[in-house]
Amino acid sequence: MTFSICVREPHEGEDGEGQTRYGVAVTTRLPAVGTLCPFVNEHGAVATQSFVNVSLGRRGVACLADGLAVEDALEAQLSADEAASKRQLHGVGADGEFTFSGTECRDWFGHTAGDGYTVAGNLLTGEAVVEATAAAYEAGRGDDRPLAARLVDALAAGHEEGGDRREELHVQSAALRVRRTDDPGPGERPLYDDLRVDATETPVADLRETYELAREGNRMAAERAAERAEEEGGN
C-alpha cells in the first residue's frame, strides 16, 4: 500500500561536533499513514508496511535505542511475527541498513538500499518508483537544505513514476519524521521535522506545502523569541 524511504546521514551539530540525523518519509493511497508506518528516534529510522504490523516499527526503534544493530533488531522482530511473509520492513541504524520484503507482498513490491538509506514499496506501478525515490535522495544528498525537504523530494520522484497503483483510491496520505543524535527535546525541535498529511487527493504536494509553511512558522517563532529575549534583556 506504500512506498517509503529511511535515511541516516552525518551532520554538524550546533556545537560544531559531528552528529547523525535519521529520517523517514512515506506516502500511500489510504488515509493517516503517518500513524502506522514511520518510526524514528535518535538511534535510527524504520518503516513497516504492506500488511502493517505497527509493533515491528515500534519495537524496532526501541531495540536500536538499546544498542542493537539494525539488522539484528529488525530480524528479531520478523522472526517473532507469524505473518512475516506478508510484511515489508526496512530501516537504518547507526552502522547499517536493513531491507525485507515478504514473498506474499502484493505486486509490484521490492526494495533497494544504498549507503545510509533504504527504500521499499508494494502495490506500486513498478520498480521505477523505488529506483526514482532512491535516485532523488542520492542526487540531493550534497544539498544543504534540511533533510525534511529532501525527503519530500524523494517521495515526489517516486510519485511521478506512478507511485501506488490503486488509482481507484483517491483518499491518500503522506508523512515524514526526522530526529538527530543531538536531539534538543520536545519543544525545541524544528517544527518541520514531524509532519503529516492525513487525508488528501494530492499527498506529496500537500506535504511539501505543509513543510514550507512549517518552516516559515519555525522561522517566525524563532524571530519572535529573539525579540522577546532582547526586550526582556533591556529592562
Q: Output the pLDDT for position 202.
A: 96
- In the predicted model, is pLDDT for residue 137 greater than 70? yes
Q: Among candidates 104, 105, 207, 206, which has minimal Cα distance to 148?
A: 207
- In the predicted model, is pLDDT for residue 16 greater than 90? no
Query: 45-57 pLDDT, tens per residue?
Result: 999 999 999 999 9
Asked if 50 contacts 105 with a C-beta cutoff of 8 angstroms, the reply is: yes
β 2-12/97-101 pair status: unpaired
- In the predicted model, is pLDDT for residue 15 greater than 80? no
Asked if 104 contacts 85 with a C-beta cutoff of 8 angstroms, the reply is: yes
- In the predicted model, is pLDDT for residue 74 greater than 60? yes
Q: What is the pTM of this model?
A: 0.93
Query: Domain with 57 in it: what CATH number?
Result: 3.60.20.10
Q: How many domains does the chain have?
A: 1
Q: Computed from CA positions of residues 200, 204, 206, 211, in that sequence, does the dihedral angle turn out positive or negative?
A: positive
Q: Among candidates 87, 28, 181, 71, which has minimal Cα distance to 60?
A: 71
- Whole-number average pLDDT of the chain: 93
Residue 198 sits in which domain range?
2-233
Q: Output the pLDDT for position 235.
A: 55
Q: Output the pLDDT for position 94.
A: 95
